[in-house]
Structures are given as structure tokens and as C-alpha cells.
Structure 1
Amino acid sequence: MEITRKQDLASVTGPADYFTGSVTITGQFQRPAPSRVSGAIVHFEPGARTHWHTHPAGQTLIVTEGVGWTQIDGGPKLEFHAGDILWCPAEHRHWHGATLDQGMTHIAIQEAVDGSPVTWMEPVEDAVYLAPLGHMVQPDTAD
């Protein structure tokens, strides 16, 4: 059994290649084979969000604090809250982050396929991020 104590968890700034706004990633982990699981605690300041991305085996987000928004390409923009658990199916292009005026923290859990748990893409444009809840993003407007 391995325990990593809270005081020993490293934190890093979310890189601008993958995030817009202020993001902190804490306790990032990758389990050794035969496991394919990796994850981290990710905190988004108000207005911060991921870039568009996909996960080859899907992703689970366990929301621990705040309020956030998420969207699968071509689907409606949705709001989620602390205590919610989100599932994004494999290979679905999506983004997630804090709302404009509230921060949000989630635990992200995903599995690697062929050694990679994620494929990062371009930033989410402000027009998409700020669109009303329920707004549908069309694939030709998300590029």
C-alpha cells in the first residue's frame, strides 16, 4: 500500500498549452502497469478552463468545490456543482472549467491507451465559453 500525504502533494501551474486562465494542478499521479489510471486535483480560478481535448478511454470528474461549465463538441453547454460527478465518454472532444465568476475544483481520473491519457487541442474561444447554458456548439464553429 502506498500513501501520499497531503503535505507532500506537489502543485504546478496549469500550462498555457492546455489551459486558459489560472489553473493549479495538485497531486498529479500515474499508476504503474498493469494499471492505466492517472489523475490529479485541478483547481480553476474564475474564468479559467481547459482547451478542447479528448481522452481515449473517457474521463471522470469528481467536483469537490465551486461551480463549473462543460461541453462536448456539438452538445449543449452544461453547468455542474460541487458534489456532482461527470463522465465524458471516450474520444469525445470537450472542455471544462470554472464559471466566469466562481472558481471550481475537481478530481480528474482517466486511463491511458497506448501510453497516452489525453490529446490536447486548441483553446476554447471566448464566444464558446461565454455562450448561454444549453447553447449547442457546432463542429464547424469550434475550430
Structure 2
Amino acid sequence: MQIVRNTLDTGTGPEDWFTGDVYIDPVAAAPPPSRVSAGLVHFTPGSRTHWHLHPLGQTIFVTEGIGLCQRRGGPVEVIKPGDRVLFEADEEHWHGAAPTRLMTHLAINETDDEHDTVHWLEPVTDEEYLQTPEDDFGTIPEA
């Protein structure tokens, strides 16, 4: 067993990866040969990632709040605590908080010697972000 005491400060999400205020706490970054990393990502209302893709895919697990996500060409989906979202390898997508709600998720990523963990693309426009999805209960997030 190994206990690693957290000595890392919460980081601010870079402007070339995110729109709005986003904060990241590292969770797992084991040394090689491990290929898995994880971070707890905190999105303030209206904040979101830019479009991006992961060569080996990504899983996010929502821990609190209400979020939105979308794969390129698909509808905007509402995500809530306990929801797990798998983005397939090389699937262009974004995820973030609903317009009036905080959202936190655990992001789990994998990398290897031939691939980067993530490829960042252009920002999600307000028009793309403000599409009005209906969630499982038929309610629409406020813009």
C-alpha cells in the first residue's frame, strides 16, 4: 500500500483549454508503466471545455451539480451526479457546467508512448453551448 499525501494546489484551468472559470485537482498520476491519470475538475456555472478529443478515449464521472456534454454532431446532453460518460477514442466532444449550476466530475484519461492524452481544438461557441436540451425529467436548463 502507498499513501500519497496531497501537496499539490488546486490549479486553474488554462484559457486555451476552457471557457470560464475551471479548477482542477490532480487525483492520479502514477509513474510509468501506468498509463492512467485522473483529475477532479470543478466547473463554475457556464464554464466548459473547448472542443477536444482523446486518442485513447476518456471517461468522466459526475460527482456533483448539473452539467452538459456533447459529441460533435450530436445533441447537447444533461449530466447529473452518478452519471458516467464514455467518450470514444478520437471522438470530438466538450463538457462543462449548466448555465446556472456548478458541476464537478472526475476525468479519467489514458495515454501511451504513441499518443498524447488530449488534443485541444477550438472553443465551444455560445450558440453551441446554449442549445436547450431536455433532461430525463423533461426540464430545460436556464440560459
TM class by smaller structure: 0.7 to 0.9
Letter in 2 for 1:20: T
SS at match of 2:66: strand
> In percent, how many aligned pairs have the same letter?
49
Letter in 2 for 1:23: V
SS at match of 1:62: strand
Q: Extract unaligned runs of 5+ from structure 2.
A: 135-143
- Alpha-carbon RMSD: 1.5
1:59–1:109 CA contact under 8 A, matched in 2: yes
1:38–1:117 CA contact under 8 A, matched in 2: no
Moved more, 111-120 or 46-55: 111-120
The TM-score with structure 2 as length reference comes to 0.87
Q: Determine the structure 2 residue equivalent to 1:63.
A: 62
Higher helix share: 1
Q: Extract unaligned runs of 5+ from structure 1.
A: 135-143
CA distance in 2, matches of 1:78, 1:60: 15
Q: Determine the structure 1 residue equivalent to 2:96.
A: 97
Shift of 1:32: 1.8
CA distance in 2, matches of 1:124, 1:15: 15
Q: Determine the structure 2 residue equivalent to 1:125.
A: 125
Number of aligned residues:
133
What's the CA shift string for 1:13-61, capped at 9, x where partnerless?
Answer: 1010100000000125432222111120000000000000000111110
Shift of 1:76: 1.1
CA distance in 1, matches of 2:13, 2:3: 24
Moved over 4 A (4+): none
Moved more, 114-123 or 29-38: 29-38
Shift of 1:133: 1.2
